[in-house]
A = this chain, B = another copy of it.
Amino acid sequence: MPPASPAIVRTVADLRAQVAAWKAAGDQVALVPTMGALHDGHLTLVKLGQTRARRTVASVFVNPRQFAPHEDFDAYPRGEALDAEKLASVGCDLMFAPTPEAMYGQGFSTSIQVAGVSEPLEGAARPQFFGGVATVVAKLLIQCQADFAVFGEKDYQQLQVIKRLVADLDLPVEIIAAPTARAEDGLALSSRNAYLTVEERQIAATLPRVLHEAAQAVAHGGRIDEAEAAGKAALSAIGFGQIDYLEVRQALDLSRLGPGPMGQAQGRILVAAWLGKTRLIDNMAV
């Protein structure tokens, strides 16, 4: 029987002491950074980490620095006890749940920017986002000193930003990318799905289908601009509101492709669209 909950630590010193003890015993460590509100998608990240490292740590921290003032920081779902239970159910060894004060102490003044890959798409729609992400992820990686860190492809641009960050700062950690976990009807699992009404939840399931069709069209030699336009039209027709972007981009640096056929490039199609008051994102390989 798994334990009722993993050990919970709240300070960097306690986190490092546990990680150091594991390493001294010859065990490798995988970190799964999360903002809590854990769902099965997060748990697949933990399980993937377990395939590479004997020990897994999940951090749970709703990072104020990656939310703009008008965004949903206060409303973002939180539930530590339930998060701990779910982590225990998959055998996660440790939950690191620091307070905002522990992460951003008095006089905190440092910020990390990753130019280029962070600028389009989410970076354009949410100018504060990736600076906040890069800073907190760098801190978590340095705090934990894990051998591996697992990030989901659901946040695909974030994954590429973090890979760039880790390479540029020589952080001694291997980034593991986890395929997007999806509900039976195909919707990508997301903590923000909890915001959807029943009706919106049904409409939301068309998002991956539309994305898949557009990806197929481009993969079969279709023009990128036409596939993007058709995808947006389909989303609007089914009931989506504002579409922040629906674009086929180069898969690693997210530079522009098109407007014609993709040719030999490695592509990724990415979307962010609103359904009522909820903003959904998804992406697929092309």
Contact = CB atoms under 8 A, between A and B. Distances in A.
Interface of A: 12, 16, 105, 107-118, 134, 138-139, 142-143, 145, 164-165, 167-172, 253
Contact of A115 (B111, B113, B139): B111
Contacts of A112: 110-113
Contacts of A113: 110-113
B170 A108 contact: no
User: Chain B CB within 10 Å — which of A105, A139, A169 has the most?
Assistant: A169
Given A105-B167, A107-B253, A113-B113, 9 more contacts: A107-B164, A107-B167, A109-B115, A109-B118, A109-B168, A110-B113, A111-B113, A138-B169, A145-B172
A168 B107 CA distance: 9
A169 B167 CA distance: 17
A168 B103 CA distance: 8
A16 B170 CA distance: 11
18 contacts: A12-B170, A105-B168, A107-B116, A107-B167, A109-B114, A109-B115, A109-B116, A109-B117, A109-B164, A109-B168, A110-B112, A110-B114, A110-B134, A111-B115, A112-B113, A142-B169, A142-B170, A142-B172
